[in-house]
Amino acid sequence: MSKVEGVSKVESVSKVKGLQTFPGNRIIWHALIVGVVWLLLLLLNNNIDPLYSSYLALIAMYATAMFGMTILVGLSGQVSLGNGALMAVGGYVFALTSMNWETVPIFGWQWNAIWSMVFAGLGGVLVGGVVGGLAARLKGPYLAGLTLGLAVGVPAITNRFPELLGGENGLMLTVPYPDGGYAAAGAAASLDPGAEGELESTTDPGGDQNGELGTDDQFAELDLSEFDQETDPDAGLATEDLLTEEDFGSGDQLADGDLLTEEDFGSGDQLADGDLLTEEDFGSGDQLGLDGTDIGTDIGTDAGTDIGADLNVDSDSLLDGFDSGFIIERWQASMAIAVACIVAFAALNLVRGRQGRVWKAVRDDPIAAAVVGISPSGSKVSAFVVSSLFAALAGAVFAQILSFIGPGAFGLGLSLSLLVGIVLGGRASLLGAILGAILLVWLPELVDGLAGERGWPEQITNNAPNLLYGLLVVAVVLAAPGGVTGTIRSWVDKARGKARSPLS
Amino acid sequence: MTNFIDYLLGGFSNGAVIALMALALVLVWRSTRMVNFAQVGQAMFTTYIALTVQQSTGNWVLALVVALLAGSILGVVVFFLVIRPVKNSDTTGAIIATFGVLIALQAGAGMIWGGDPEGFVPPVDNAGLEIGGRIWPVSLYDLLVLAVTAVLVIGLTLLFTKTSLGLSMRASAFNPEVARLSGVRVNRMLITGWAIAGATGAIGGVLIAPFSTISPNSFDILLVFAFTAAVIGGLDSLIGAVTFGIGTGLVISLVSGYSDSGNAPIVALVLLALNLLLKPDGVFGHHGSRSV
């Protein structure tokens, strides 16, 4: 991936003159870069183990949020800890719109995740506009303190509206996965030896899923066999039986007609991997409990109309999908990559265009910027709104990856992670955001692996990544303020005899 | 009405601790013109040290003294290792660095003492006192907290107004260049400021721990309250920090009493936002003290 970025960078450097005169050219170049990266990532996603696909999904999700941090912290110079909270906004809007799509007035007849994503983005823009309006009046530590309050206040706000937002327990999502599954359209089917084989292979490489997934596999198989038995005789009757069964584990797979089985159980591991700071907040017990009630209502509303037919079809495609290897991790990764690439394209055009220069100008000298006709507060608000939009989209992706949204996942820890990632990768660079995202996902895995080898106690293992992050952040701020990308760039510039600020 | 009085009285000791944390933030602001977001992290760490001392010796006073010393040492260490090297570079970097310290301290505490919440046994009874046939929402421990806070605040006030050290500190906070020319060892004053701030925060941490439990993240919310109080007070005003620290404690107690303690952060957020919009210099702040 980084190789590709490197190539694209060389290309863009060689085109600098053309880029400056023809903005249209620049957009085409950016589209080309992003398109190639997107394609390569999809290829990668299809050919790696599903476990790594789930990491890929998390990396793409973090990168989406951190493109916004690049603009807000790096270019506009506003330290915000509110982006985790804005991710929560996106996640909750996604959850609420996708769960209550029948009551959302427009486009209800063809609801899918994309509409929920759009609404999530709008929610982010709205909240970001309000907070950004406040923020534009504030400097450095005041903004950080205010947004810190926002981050700490998220659980309080969700608890304030327990019926709507689910309080501490959060909301389970019924993610509207595409019909027919992901693998049916792709080449994955031929690559995969079989569903069971895939599931087992997900448990192997990590080595840290202490037996939990093993039992989950059994669950999945059990579920499957039940499907087999019950769908065969009579689809219409079977649906009733299936749906009323409470001991069925994760019922929402029925509502979706898709293979959420592995995902539901496997998500525990993804949570542990992805949400670095708040692993303890996700008991699978809660999720199951919520499932039960959710399913009940779903059935109630859907019962008369098309659910029989749906299930009839879906239970077939369910089995087909399983045979042809619908792999939830791959679907999640491809979805997260799609969002990340679209956001990256927008961010590239903003950062390397006029708006990027405006943000930097205000960051470096607001008075001088005002003298040449730039509104400093307008520039700050626009940076905040853009980063809020990106954060909300990332939050919606995160909610889909987790199939769950709750205050625990979106607290201060997440906001701090984003800050850590952007600082380590490179504050003012989009490539730095990607590197930071990789670091956020990879470092805990590395520590876990080391801990497994050396037999460290859990207390050490759980906290080692954060200790490293904290120390690295301090070290980077002191020794290399530009992060990884800024430092490399300054080396390159030095070699070419140019001097440049590491943050430019 | 009795409810109101009860809630109000119950908020004082909490407010006193918020005032101490706000004081620590203000002391750092006065010496280095920055907000130390790691302040509660330092306090959490030293509170754990105090907890260890108390568990092994059973002596609360010793624990408090150890926390005080550890807090001032930690403050100086953070200043030397992190703040002084970064101070002359960008302000964004300085803010980020304090968050780095916070993350590292929380993870370090989790490594050493584990993530499970631990109780801190108060040295005196923490049950409501019974006076005149009525149980008041004030315990002996609340009174102790108020007394320690009062002693500390009076001591700090005397230090800043009556001693030459305090004069030098005020001078180097007010105008470092002129102070340096007048023979004040500005750098030494900065270190002293950080040490006193660390010690103040450490005492605040030890005092608040018995009210609930202590865990690596349990003071996060205290940071929000203290920041709110310090900013409303004007960030460079000791009196402002104490007044609005106690005020914040009272408001939180009222909000928790009448609705739910979970709403307290929202109220703090609203207070902070309103203040920053309406009176950005704070109530006790000097005009222009905010320009960094």
Q: What are the domain boundaries of chain B?
A: 2-115+135-278
Beta partners for residue B139, in sequence order: B128
Beta partners for residue B213, in sequence order: B119
CB contact under 8 A, A141 and B35: yes
| pLDDT at residue number A40 | 93
Domain that holds residue A146: 48-492
Choice between A410 and A473, residue whose per-residue pLDDT is larger: A473
A152 near B CB under 8 A: yes
| pLDDT at residue number A149 | 87
Confidence band of A319 (pLDDT split at 50, 70, 90): very low
- Please write the tens of the pLDDT for every residue from B187-238: 889 899 999 999 999 999 999 998 888 989 888 889 999 999 998 888 888 8
Say if residue A246's pLDDT is above 60. no
- As a whole number, mean pLDDT of residues A440-463 equals 85
- SS in 3 state form for A307-364? HHHHHHHHHHHHHHHHHCCCCHHHHHHHHHHHHHHHHHHHHHHHHCCHHHHHHHHHHH
B90 near A CB under 8 A: yes
Say if residue A162's pLDDT is above 70. yes
- As a whole number, mean pLDDT of residues B231-252 equals 89
- In chain A, the residue whose alpha carbon lies closest to the alpha carbon of B234 is A142
Of the candidates A142, A420, A473, which has its C-beta nearest B276's C-beta? A142
Neighbours of B61 (CB within 10 A): 10
Choice between A16 and B131, residue whose per-residue pLDDT is larger: B131
B35 near A CB under 8 A: yes
CB contact under 8 A, A459 and B110: yes
| pLDDT at residue number A208 | 37
CB contact under 8 A, B104 and A474: yes
Domains of chain A: total: 1
A503 near B CB under 8 A: yes
CA distance A441 to chain B (A): 17
CATH number for the domain formed by residue range(s) B2-115+135-278: 1.10.3470
Lowest mean pLDDT among A37-41, A304-308, A478-482: A304-308
Say if residue A101's pLDDT is above 90. no
Cβ partners under 8 Å of residue A134, min gap 6:
A146, B273, B276, B277
Of the candidates B82, B89, B224, which has its C-beta nearest A148's C-beta? B224
| pLDDT at residue number B237 | 84
Residue at A168 is within a domain: yes
- As a whole number, mean pLDDT of residues A143-160 equals 83
A134 near B CB under 8 A: yes
Longest dimension (CA), chain B: 63
Say if residue A294's pLDDT is above 70. no
CA distance A221 to chain B (A): 36
| pLDDT at residue number B45 | 95
- Please write the tens of the pLDDT for every residue from A460-488: 888 888 999 999 999 998 888 888 888 88
Confidence band of A322 (pLDDT split at 50, 70, 90): very low
- Counting DSSP H helices and E strands in chain A, the numbers are 24, 2
Q: Which DSSP helix (H) or strand (E) runs through A408?
A: none
Of the candidates A427, A469, A477, which has its C-beta nearest B97's C-beta? A477
- In chain B, the residue whose alpha carbon lies closest to the alpha carbon of A461 is B111
B117 near A CB under 8 A: no
| Distance, CA of B142 to CA of A249 (rounded, Å) | 50
A155 near B CB under 8 A: yes
Which residues of chain B have a CB within 8 Å of the CB of A156?
262-266
- Please write the tens of the pLDDT for every residue from B144-183: 999 999 999 999 999 988 999 988 888 887 788 888 898 8
- As a whole number, mean pLDDT of residues A287-303 equals 37
